[in-house]
């Protein structure tokens, strides 16, 4: 197991957003998180690299381990944690800089400045994000001039540039057209050779296509998690079946 | 929470109704073909043969509905099993209908030629086939896994009756040499009835899959 979550509770002030969530995230696999809007998927994803620490009123108990080490340990180095557990957000959040600078942004934060080394990282990351061929002749152009799908893949390249171990993706395709979506899905399939991926999606077909495991959340609770093939052919819980077949939402 | 996809759920229910209706129609066909056979009623046999066209139309309609649902609604889980079972079961029903047609055609071509002893066996075999097909369709309609299982068990009884019937008819062939050709036709009827039982078992297995997601493989028959 790459990450192990045990009995996790999360409160935004008085409001409980996650209740008693326990889940194991297997190494080099894709786990899809599904569930209706507001059920706590993004909240859960953010607990995995402590992005929730940035929100004031958040209170968390339970335990999260990364390779057996307590993620919420007092002496946890958050910069290093977020390098190891990278995040791609729902909307592309690029900086108003060149494509090149966007890719290596994280590397600069981590103190890398060797030009030759940075060039290598840019090419490698863009290739892996299936974007290199499209942008290799305009690396110095502003990233803001790219299409939505390209921007999203650039965000992925930026995360990959710091060589994380776990990749968290929050609805990475929600703003993309079908072709860009398929490119991202193919990318996810390739990346799982080396990374552990946790992906939130509202697209049931996407979850069925790309993930090995699926976890279904409802009202802050983890209702059911299993091998994706099982969830989509013969879910255990009636609530899961009603959700994936679109009977409520 | 609010119910969504009402239209889709309605269309899934319609597919199931269509399959059930087709099944009833085929069962009636077998029943009437047996009546025609036992009474030597060639007029009734002709009606059974005509009714087969309706089954052919019904299966095309079911297949079209299933294909459209797949294309437009991407069914999964139990919904997908409704579609998969709809496809498979309607094929088995069609075959049952074809065998009813075959029996009726034999009645037309050959007439009846049986003494009470053979009649008893063919009647028994026919009753078993009708019983299995009707129960399989009732299991489908009523989501009754236990009844589906009963149909699977009935297959053994069917095999035993078939063996007896086949033996009795074969014997008849040798003793009634002048009618050999016509009696050989009756051997085919026994075979058709036995096949109807097999299709009923297939349907029962798909009912179990539909309701439980469990795949059951019929053990190979010798
Ligand atoms: N920063 C915050 N402060 C207070 N409450 C929050 C905060 N973020 C989320 N919540 C609440 O926590 C619950 C879970 O929200 P979350 O964003 O995790 O849901 P989600 O499953 O990701 O939904 P969606 O599919 O719409 O993205 C919601 O009730 C939401 O209102
Ligand atoms: Mg969210």
Query: Which residue has tokens 């099993």?
Result: B81
Confidence at residue A175, expressed as pLDDT on a 0 to 100 scale: 76
**What is the C-alpha separation between B76 and B64, in angstroms, rounded?**
18
**What is the C-alpha separation between A136 and B68, in angstroms, rounded?**
44
Q: Which domain holds residue B63?
A: 2-221
Low-confidence residues in chain A, pLDDT < 50 = none
Instruction: Give pLDDT tens digits for B191-206.
Output: 999 999 999 999 999 9
Q: Does the CB atom of residue A106 touch ligand 1 within 6 A?
A: no
Asked if B200 contacts B96 with a C-beta cutoff of 8 angstroms, the reply is yes
Q: Which two tokens stand for residue A222?
A: 């983890």
Q: Which two tokens stand for residue B100?
A: 């009813």
CA A44 / ligand 2 centre spacing (Å):
9
Measured by CA distance, the residue closest to atom 29 of ligand 1 is A38
Q: Which two tokens stand for residue A204?
A: 């049931």
B/e letters for A209-246, b = 16+ CB within 10 Å, e = fewer, are bbbebbbbbbebbbbbbbebebbbebbeeebbbbbbbb
Chain A residues whose CB is inside 8 A of the B213 CB are 233-234
Confidence at residue B114, expressed as pLDDT on a 0 to 100 scale: 65
Q: Does domain A3-244 have CATH number 3.40.50.300?
A: yes
Would you kindly state where each structural domain of chain A is located, as residue ranges?
Answer: 3-244
Q: Which atom of ligand 1 is nearest to the CA of A171?
A: 27
On average, the pLDDT of chain B sits at 91
Confidence at residue B19, expressed as pLDDT on a 0 to 100 scale: 98
Task: Give the count of domains, chain B.
Answer: 1
Sort strands A166-170 and A85-88 into parallel, antiparallel or unpaired. Answer: parallel
Measured by CA distance, the residue closest to atom 26 of ligand 1 is A37
Full DSSP string of A180-212: HHHHHHHHHHHHTTT-EEEEE-S-HHHHHHH-S
Q: Does the CB atom of residue A43 touch ligand 1 within 6 A?
A: yes
Mutate to test the pocket of ligand 1, among A10, A14, A37, A40 (most ligand atoms within 8 A of CB): A40
- B4, B74, B75: residue with CB nearest A248: B4
CA A113 / ligand 2 centre spacing (Å):
35
Query: Which residue has tokens 């005509």?
Result: B50
On average, the pLDDT of chain A sits at 94
CA A207 / ligand 1 centre spacing (Å):
20
For the whole model, what pTM was predicted? Answer: 0.85
Tell me the nearest-neighbour CA distance from A49 into chain B, angstroms: 33
- B3, B80, B81: residue with CB nearest A247: B3
Cβ-based neighbour number of residue A26 at 10 Å? 13
**What is the C-alpha separation between A127 and A136, in angstroms, rounded?**
9
B65 — pLDDT class (breaks 50, 70, 90) = very high
Cβ-based neighbour number of residue A84 at 10 Å? 17
Asked if A21 contacts A6 with a C-beta cutoff of 8 angstroms, the reply is no
Instruction: Give pLDDT tens digits for A82-99.
Output: 999 999 998 888 999 999
**What is the C-alpha separation between A227 and A88, in angstroms, rounded?**
24
**What is the C-alpha separation between B192 and B96, in angstroms, rounded?**
9
CA A98 / ligand 2 centre spacing (Å):
28
Q: Which two tokens stand for residue A45?
A: 């994803």
Task: Read off the CATH number of the domain in which B195 is found.
Answer: 1.20.58.220
In degrees, rounded to 5, the angle at the alpha carbon of residue B218 between the alpha carbons of residues B217 and B222 is 140
Confidence at residue B222, expressed as pLDDT on a 0 to 100 scale: 32
The full 3-state SS of A72-137, as one line of letters, equals: CCCCCCHHHHHHHEEEECCCCCCCCCEHHHHHHHHHHHCCCCCHHHHHHHHHHHHHHCCCHHHHCC
Which ipTM value was assigned to this complex? 0.74
Collect all residues with Cβ–Cβ distance below 8 Å to A241 and sequence separation of at least 6.
A235, A247, B77, B78
**What is the C-alpha separation between B4 and A247, in angstroms, rounded?**
5
> In terms of pLDDT, which residue wins out, B117 or B63?
B63
**What is the C-alpha separation between A156 and A152, in angstroms, rounded?**
6
Q: Does the CB atom of residue A201 touch ligand 1 within 6 A?
A: no
Sort strands A30-34 and A3-12 into parallel, antiparallel or unpaired. Answer: unpaired
> What are φ and ψ of residue A33, in 5° steps?
-110, 125
Instruction: Give pLDDT tens digits for B71-109.
Output: 989 999 999 999 999 999 999 999 999 999 999 999 888
Residue A199, strand partner residues: A32, A169
Q: Is the four-CA dihedral A173, A176, A178, A181 of positive or negative sign?
A: negative
Average pLDDT for residues B173-180, to the nearest whole number?
Answer: 73
**A217: helix, coil or strand?**
strand
Confidence at residue B1, expressed as pLDDT on a 0 to 100 scale: 60
Cβ-based neighbour number of residue B2 at 10 Å? 6
**A169: helix, coil or strand?**
strand
Tell me the nearest-neighbour CA distance from B86 into chain A, angstroms: 16
Mutate to test the pocket of ligand 1, among A43, A58, A202 (most ligand atoms within 8 A of CB): A43
Q: Is residue B218 over pLDDT 70?
A: no
């Amino acid at each position: 197991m790459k990450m192990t979550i045990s009995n996790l509770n999360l409160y935004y002030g008085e409001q409980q957003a996650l209740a008693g969530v326990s889940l194991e995230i297997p190494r080099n696999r894709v786990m899809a998180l599904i569930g209706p809007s507001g059920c706590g998927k993004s909240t859960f994803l953010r607990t995995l690299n402590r992005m929730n620490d940035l929100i004031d009123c958040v209170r968390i108990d339970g335990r999260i381990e990364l390779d057996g080490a307590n993620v919420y340990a007092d002496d946890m180095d958050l910069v290093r944690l977020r390098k190891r557990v990278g995040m791609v957000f729902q909307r592309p959040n690029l900086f108003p800089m060149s494509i090149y600078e966007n890719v290596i942004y994280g590397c600069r934060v981590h103190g890398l400045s060797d030009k030759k080394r940075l060039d290598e990282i840019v090419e490698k990351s863009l290739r892996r994000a299936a974007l290199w061929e499209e942008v290799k002749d305009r690396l110095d152009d502003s990233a803001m001039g790219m299409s939505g799908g390209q921007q999203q893949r650039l965000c992925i390249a930026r995360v990959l540039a710091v060589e994380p171990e776990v990749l968290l993706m929050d609805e990475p395709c929600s703003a993309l057209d079908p072709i860009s979506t398929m490119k991202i899905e193919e990318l996810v399939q390739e990346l799982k050779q080396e990374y552990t991926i946790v992906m939130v999606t509202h697209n049931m077909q996407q979850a069925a296509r790309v993930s090995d495991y699926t976890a279904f959340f409802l009202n802050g609770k983890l209702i059911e998690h299993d091998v994706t093939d099982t969830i989509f052919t013969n879910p255990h819980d009636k609530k899961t079946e009603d959700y994936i077949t679109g009977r409520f939402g | 929470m609010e119910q969504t996809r009402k239209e889709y759920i309605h269309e899934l229910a319609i597919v199931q109704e269509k399959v059930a209706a087709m099944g009833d129609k085929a069962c009636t066909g077998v029943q009437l073909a047996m009546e025609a056979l036992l009474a030597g009623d060639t007029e009734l046999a002709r009606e059974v043969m005509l009714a087969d066209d309706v089954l052919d139309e019904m299966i095309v309609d079911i297949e079209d509905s299933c294909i459209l649902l797949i294309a437009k609604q991407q069914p999964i889980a139990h919904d997908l099993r409704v579609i998969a079972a709809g496809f498979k079961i309607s094929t088995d029903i069609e075959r049952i209908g074809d065998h009813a047609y075959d029996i009726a055609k034999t009645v037309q071509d050959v007439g009846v030629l049986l003494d009470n002893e053979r009649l008893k066996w063919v009647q028994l075999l026919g009753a078993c086939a009708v019983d299995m097909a009707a129960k399989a369709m009732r299991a489908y309609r009523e989501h009754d896994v236990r009844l589906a299982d009963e149909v699977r068990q009935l297959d053994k009884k069917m095999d035993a009756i078939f063996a007896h019937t086949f033996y009795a008819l074969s014997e008849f062939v040798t003793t009634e040499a002048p009618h050999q050709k016509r009696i050989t036709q009756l051997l085919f009827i026994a075979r058709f009835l036995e096949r109807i039982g097999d299709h009923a078992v297939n349907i029962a297995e798909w009912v179990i899959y539909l309701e439980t997601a469990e795949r059951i493989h019929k053990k190979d028959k010798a």
